[in-house]
């Protein structure tokens, strides 16, 4: 049994794209409900028909386009505000209590080759060669009001060939769902209004709530998938395409 656990841990670790200071990442400031500076992208990222070249990596588990997001209690998609964003795990992170948020945009050939290989595997019918990627990682982040050692590690990867765009969300270890300002328990990080995962284009038409969002089941997101790889969700987002096949509902594990 221990060997199986080690194999499972290795599998989940291998899902994560490299991150941290060794690969040139920038680290967000220690700030409750904080964000990165505005990031001007080297190439446009098309999100449901709209090209974006400015984004933010927000501490509360969101990559947003055009404007930063400080809201800590998640709302279900579609949002009324109309601000487009990707939410690998939208909840009340507080990196002052623990953990770091790392990000980089890159055109490194090795990283882009990995993006291309992954997307070609999951979307074999879509001709795609990555020319740019953003890797944002929430590494062992704590929740607001934490009275425990529970942390979450997850990641969002955005990649494009300047026309076709994909988002990938990787989950290494999820131990909490809710900060105390969202009704969670300080000792468990559970209860209240749990985290939301998915994306929202801002047009009230194109959006997706990953199953379990804003319910206690989101704690198990590292065991679910739409590409038959537990702990990974991948979507084409330049136009409305959910999952990769008509068998998506059979891919959840």
* pLDDT at 252 > cutoff 60: no
Closest CA to 49 of 183, 246, 240: 240
pLDDT in the model for residue 13? 62
pLDDT in the model for residue 81? 74
pLDDT in the model for residue 241? 60
CA 192, CA 73: separation in Å to the nearest integer?
10
For the segment 90-109, what is each residue's pLDDT rounded down to a tens digit?
A: 999 999 999 999 999 999 99
CA 33, CA 181: separation in Å to the nearest integer?
12
* pLDDT at 9 > cutoff 50: no
Tell me the C-alpha to C-alpha distance, in Å, between residue 128 and each of 15, 200, 238: 20, 23, 13
Instruction: Give me the chain's average pLDDT, please.
Output: 91
pLDDT in the model for residue 244? 46
pLDDT in the model for residue 171? 98
pLDDT in the model for residue 240? 66
pLDDT in the model for residue 242? 55
pLDDT in the model for residue 29? 95
Residue 83 CB-density burial (10 A; 0-12 exposed, 13-18 middle, 19+ buried): middle
pLDDT in the model for residue 12? 57
Note the maximum CA span of the chain. Answer: 49
Q: What global pTM score does this model have?
A: 0.91
Place of tokens 């209860």: 191
* pLDDT at 82 > cutoff 90: no
CA 100, CA 26: separation in Å to the nearest integer?
10
Q: Are 71 and 60 in contact (CB under 8 A)?
A: yes
Please provide the size of the chain in residues.
253
* pLDDT at 232 > cutoff 60: yes
């Amino acid at each position: 049994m221990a060997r199986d656990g080690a194999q499972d841990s290795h599998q989940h670790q291998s899902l994560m794209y490299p991150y941290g200071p060794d690969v040139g990442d920038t680290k967000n400031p220690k700030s409750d409900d904080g964000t990165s500076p505005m990031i001007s992208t080297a190439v446009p990222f098309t999100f449901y028909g709209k090209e974006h070249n400015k984004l933010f990596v927000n501490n509360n588990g969101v990559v947003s386009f055009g404007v930063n997001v400080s809201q800590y209690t998640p709302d279900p998609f579609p949002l009324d505000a109309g601000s487009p964003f990707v939410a690998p795990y939208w909840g009340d992170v507080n990196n002052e209590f623990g953990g770091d948020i790392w990000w980089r945009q890159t055109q490194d050939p090795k990283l882009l080759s990995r993006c291309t290989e992954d997307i070609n595997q999951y979307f074999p019918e879509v001709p795609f060669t990555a020319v740019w990627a953003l890797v944002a990682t929430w590494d062992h982040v704590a929740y607001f009001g934490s009275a425990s050692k529970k942390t979450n590690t997850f990641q969002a990867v955005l990649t494009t060939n300047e026309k076709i765009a994909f988002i990938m969300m990787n989950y290494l270890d999820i131990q909490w769902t809710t900060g105390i300002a969202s009704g969670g328990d300080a000792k468990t990080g559970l209860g209240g209004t749990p985290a939301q995962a998915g994306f929202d284009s801002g047009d009230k038409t194109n959006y997706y709530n990953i199953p379990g969002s804003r319910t206690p089941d989101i704690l198990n997101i590292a065991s679910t998938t739409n590409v038959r790889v537990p702990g990974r969700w991948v979507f084409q987002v330049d136009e409305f395409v959910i999952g990769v096949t008509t068998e998506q509902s059979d891919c959840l594990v």
